[in-house]
């Protein structure tokens, strides 16, 4: 069985929107609608703009949705009907759209608010994130448990975990993990401690905002970073999105759960191919 997976923040490049529109002209309509609804011209963002959470999240989601439209235009209806949806962090919002849970205008409104809140949190609590390569999940958990304000947040694949926290605490943790045997510790190009309790205030505000959005039952199997399994048809989406913002991305477990459910063919939809590499390692 097939599954489409959608990338998260960090997948963006300055040229991605223009390259997509040049290769698939109907994509331009998604960018026009995004500008009308959010006021942002996502076709004209600079590298500096895309380094900011405020802009990068919308840019990635719109690119991913337009890329999905391109794939669906070339696929049979049966293929689309039997394809599961999953995303990495921000990519889960694209997955909600792909599964029919939210409309395109509503996902734009929702991601626009999420990005605004997360940008605010990053400015209030300046943070950092580091990819730790070469230690097990348990080793990273044990080492960081003794360092306040630092958390394992992205379980990318076996031997690769991302930590996040307040900037100085995360820097200390990164140095300690390197001393304890990590092959590489790489600082990520973000300024917030995403998927940590430092996002709690914003997660509550997002839930309140999302209460005004119409969520529909998923038309396709929809998998979760927060639970590492298939989402229930009875889920309270505003509450879930708040949980998602402060919970680790359990990507390794999620992909294994999808494999156990029979999904063997994964296709990354959107900018970049990082998830495809992680899935191969999983």
Q: What is the pLDDT of residues 48-80, one digit of tens each?
A: 999 899 999 999 999 999 999 999 998 776 666
pLDDT at 241: 97
One domain, residues 148 and 204: no
One domain, residues 6 and 106: yes
Q: Would the pTM count as exceeding 0.85?
A: yes
Model confidence at 204, pLDDT cuts 50, 70, 90, reads very high
Which residues form the domain of 180?
A: 127-187
Final residue of a structural domain among 139, 163, 187? 187
Q: How many residues would you count in the chain?
A: 282
One domain, residues 207 and 276: yes
Helix and strand numbers, DSSP H then E, in the chain:
13, 7
One domain, residues 215 and 270: yes
pLDDT at 80: 64
| Residues 259-276, mean pLDDT to the nearest whole number | 96
One domain, residues 206 and 91: yes
Neighbouring-strand partners of residue 129: 164
Question: How large a percentage of the chain has pLDDT more than 70?
Answer: 98
One domain, residues 174 and 50: no
Nearest Cα residue to 86 out of 74, 98, 71: 98
One domain, residues 100 and 206: yes
CATH code of the domain covering residue 233: 3.40.366.10
Tokens standing for 63?
């690119």
One domain, residues 264 and 167: no
Q: For the chain, what is the domain count?
A: 2
Q: How far apart are CA 122 and CA 168, in angstroms?
A: 14
Positive or negative, the CA dihedral 15, 18, 23, 27 is positive
Catalytic residues: 89, 195
Q: How far apart are CA 224 and CA 138, in angstroms?
A: 21
| Residues 18-22, mean pLDDT to the nearest whole number | 97
């Amino acid at each position: 069985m097939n599954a489409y997976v959608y990338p998260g923040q960090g997948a963006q490049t300055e040229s991605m929107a223009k390259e997509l529109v040049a290769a698939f002209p109907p994509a331009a309509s998604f960018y026009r609608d995004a500008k009308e609804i959010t006021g942002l011209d996502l076709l004209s963002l600079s590298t500096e703009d895309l380094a900011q959470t405020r802009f990068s999240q919308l840019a990635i989601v719109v690119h991913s949705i337009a890329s999905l439209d391109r794939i669906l235009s070339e696929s049979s209806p049966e293929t689309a009907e039997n394809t599961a949806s999953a995303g990495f962090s921000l990519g889960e919002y694209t997955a909600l759209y792909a599964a029919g849970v939210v409309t395109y205008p509503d996902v734009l409104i929702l991601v626009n608010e999420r990005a605004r809140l997360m940008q605010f949190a990053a400015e209030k609590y300046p943070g950092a994130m580091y990819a730790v390569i070469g230690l097990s999940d348990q080793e990273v958990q044990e080492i960081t448990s003794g360092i306040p304000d630092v958390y394992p947040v992205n379980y990318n694949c076996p031997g690769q975990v991302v930590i996040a926290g307040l900037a100085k605490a995360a820097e200390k943790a990164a140095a300690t993990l390197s001393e304890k045997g990590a092959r590489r510790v790489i600082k990520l190009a973000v300024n917030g401690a995403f998927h940590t309790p430092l996002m709690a205030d914003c997660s509550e505000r997002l839930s309140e905002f999302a209460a005004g959005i119409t969520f529909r039952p998923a038309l396709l199997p929809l998998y979760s970073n927060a639970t590492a399994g298939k989402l229930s048809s009875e889920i309270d989406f505003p509450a879930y999105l708040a949980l998602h913002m402060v919970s680790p991305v359990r990507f390794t477990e999620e992909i294994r759960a999808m494999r156990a459910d029979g999904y063997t063919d994964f296709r990354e939809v959107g900018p970049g191919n990082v998830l495809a590499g992680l899935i191969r390692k999983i």
